[in-house]
Each structure stands twice: as structure tokens, then as C-alpha cells.
Amino acid sequence: MNLTGGLHWHWRAWRAQARWVQTRSDIETWLLAQPVPTEHLLLIGASAGWMMSAPWLARFKSVQTWDIDPLAAPLFAWRHGGALKAQGVHLECHTGDALTSLPSLLREQPQATVFFDNVLGQVRFQTPRTDQAENRLRSITQVLRGRHWGSVHDRMSGPVQSAGTAHDVPGARKTEQGSKNEGQATQEWLGLLGAQSPWLDHLTDSVFPAGTPLTNIAWPMNASYWHWLQAGWVRP
């Protein structure tokens, strides 16, 4: 099941571009602050790159995108292909289940940096039970051992207090995976978002190893339902 691909998603993302300005800018600022450890990028869950930073992509020599949604590859190439080509970046867009085929993708591209672009938070919708989703996420992170990899993904999502507008969206906040004050920082962050119980746990709390610097980013999916995105980068 794919809840975030398909025509409906692209239509929604296209219409939401103004509301997502802050989110896109926070993701870009975070990405541009990361070192580019290798020349090749494997971008998983790329969709049409609605929230992807073009200046960050241009730092690589080659970019391979993967998405299970058949519309994603042509739309990504249409949105980003021209600018990347002009900057000498080789782009290949693929369609397929890149989470299932991750071990073989990694074998084929031993040098590639891997970035999960807002996809790991959807794993819980692709398995019938939460323990299966947690196991799947664990096996994904295990297979990445020894790699430079990063991810931005849903940590939680749910209703917010008031119908928010773009300028109500709080800017990104830094935390650390497993830090002593994690509970308090979480409550403060949810308060900033105006979160109203109950919020959905996307089961990604253990994706990053302890000590990983994290950036928390607000994503107003629509005026009354927001996502809390968490971004982190893991070095071998």
C-alpha cells in the first residue's frame, strides 16, 4: 500500500507549495549544512522532489532516485532534470520498491550516499502489525551499517490546535537522539506545534543511533493536521 504516492499526492503537493515553504526551507538548510561524503547519491522515496533542495542535489556528480510510484520518476526528471543537467549532474530516475531491494541496491552502489527522503515514516502503513514495521525499520538500518546515510521522516503526526497558516509554522529545532532531556524537548516541541491528542506514532523513534544530532521540522500537511519530521545523518 502506498499512501503518499500517486496522482492524489502530486496534486496535493503541488497545491501545498506555499504552505510548505517553511518546511522545504528547513530541510534545505539542514541538508546544505551536511558534508557531501561521496559523489553519488541514492535518493529513496524521491517522489517528484516536491520538498527536495536543488542546490543540495547539485553537489553530487550523479543522483539515482527511487520511488514505488510510477508517476514519480517522470515528474522528478521534469522538475529537477534540466537544472541538474545544466550543472553536469547525471540523473537516473527509477521506479520500484527500493526498501525491499535495498540490500541489492547497496551492493550495486558501494560508494553511494543514501538518503531516505520522507519515506521511513510510511513503513508502518505498509505492514499489518506495528512490531513488523519496527522489525522492518530495524533491518533497514542494520543493512546500512558502514554507510553514510541520512533520512528525514515522520516521527509523529496529528491534529493541531488552530487552523495554522504558513507563518505559524515554528522553525526547526535541534535535539540529540537519546539525550537525557529528550522527553522534555519532545513535549516543548509538540507544544510549539499546537499538537492536540491523539498523535500518531510513525514508529521511527529508533531509526537513528543514540547520539545522532537531530533536527525537528514542522510540516503542515494541511491547516489542521501537521507532521513532525525528524532529520538526521549517520556516519559510518
Ligand X SMILES: C[S@@+](CC[C@H](N)C(=O)[O-])C[C@H]1O[C@@H](n2cnc3c(N)ncnc32)[C@H](O)[C@@H]1O
Binding site for ligand X (CB under 6 A): 2, 4-5, 13, 44-52, 66-69, 72, 97-99, 117-119, 122
Which residue matches cell numbers 503537493? 13
CB nearer to ligand X: pick between 55 and 191: 55
DSSP H helical ranges for the chain = 6-15, 21-32, 54-57, 72-86, 102-108, 130-143, 182-193
Among residues 50 and 199, whose Cβ is nearest to ligand X?
Answer: 50
Tell me how far, at minimum, the Cβ of 231 lies from ligand X, in Å: 12
The residue number whose beta carbon is nearest to ligand X equals 5
How many CA atoms does the CB half-sphere of 123 hold within 13 Å? 28
Is residue 57 a contact partner of residue 41, using CB atoms and an 8 Å limit? yes
* Smallest gap from residue 163 Cβ to ligand X (A): 22
Distance, CA of 57 to CA of 81 (rounded, Å):
11
Please identify, using beta-carbon distances, which residue of 139 and 161 lies nearer to ligand X: 139
Phi/psi at 211 (nearest 5 deg)?
90, -10
Nearer to ligand X, 32 or 191 (CB): 32
